[in-house]
Structure 1
Amino acid sequence: MDRFTRNYSLLLGAVLIAALFFWVKSTWRPDVWKLDEVLTSDAKLAEYPYQFRVRDFRNGVAVISTPRSPDFPAYSFLQVIHPKLAGKAQDDPEMIAAQQDLIDHQKRAMGLILAQPGVKGVDWELDVKWLAEHGIHR
């Protein structure tokens, strides 16, 4: 092997190893996994059709996925997880009850995470992937 090929191979190998190291470092999040386990192991949250998940944890703030946000109302989401609500008005008693059930589950997820050591706050992130997988586009 000539000198150029050897040096090029060594440099390319070093770049690949460095890229692999940074990728592993960015995906290795045991703190996120531990918090997410709190949500997935809760029986009441497990029975709800949407599974809240911890997406990130930095500086004491946990980011939890949610199917609703100020920009995206729960109305469309609820019609997917409860097909009997399709076509019902937002002020229909069944729709209001379903919205309250979502709020209750979201509050439970937040409470469970806030009770964990080191957690100072919770932020919410709209789960656009889940919505898209279920045919909901914002």
Structure 2
Amino acid sequence: MVFLVLLVLGLALLFGYESPKVSELNQRLAADPELNSFSYRFRVVRLDGRKAVMSTPRSTEVPVERILHLLFDDLTSRQTSGPRFQQAQRELARIQTKARDMVLADPAVERVSWELDRDWLMQHGVQLVP
């Protein structure tokens, strides 16, 4: 029984652990009013050496229309092109670039790579093929 408790605690620590540097970077991102008010929270998932791996809701695995409709409440389901749709695309790109640039401003980070936030997508009803 003690072994089982220690195993569960060990796994919880392993999967719940966030390095102090990752925590610091995520706190910086969360402290930015514009990023904090956006409907998706960009965050640093982990550091691999001097590379920050950041979460994103966007990839080629999911149609951009689906993501934009999740992120921008004012897009109707029929809007898949046009000025407002294109503006939403630019806004997502701008916010994601801002998050990346804030992380790159840290001397400990030389580059950023992106990792699809599968959990966020599943929480929003987007089914992904494994």
Q: SS at 1:71's partner residue?
A: coil
Shift of 1:53: 1.2
TM-score after normalising by structure 2: 0.83
- Tell me whether 1:97 sits opposite 2:82 in the alignment: no
Alignment of 1:10-25 (within 5 A): 20=9, 24=13
- Tell me whether 1:75 sits opposite 2:69 in the alignment: no
In terms of fraction of residues, the more helix-rich structure is 1
Alignment of 1:37-48 (within 5 A): 37-48=27-38
The residue type paired with residue 78 of structure 2 is G
Q: Runs of 4 or more off by more than 4 Å in structure 1?
A: 15-23
Unaligned 5+ segments in structure 2 are none
Shift of 1:25: 5.8
1:24 to 1:128, Cα distance in 2 relative to 1, 3 A: closer
Q: CA RMSD in A?
A: 2.3
- Residue deviations 1:9-56 (CA, integer Å, cap 9, x gap): 9xx65x965885676366251121111111111111111111111111
* Matching residue of 2:46: 56
Unaligned 5+ segments in structure 1 are 1-8
> Could you tell which deviates more after superposition, 73-82 or 41-50?
73-82
* Matching residue of 1:129: 119
What is the aligned length? Answer: 126
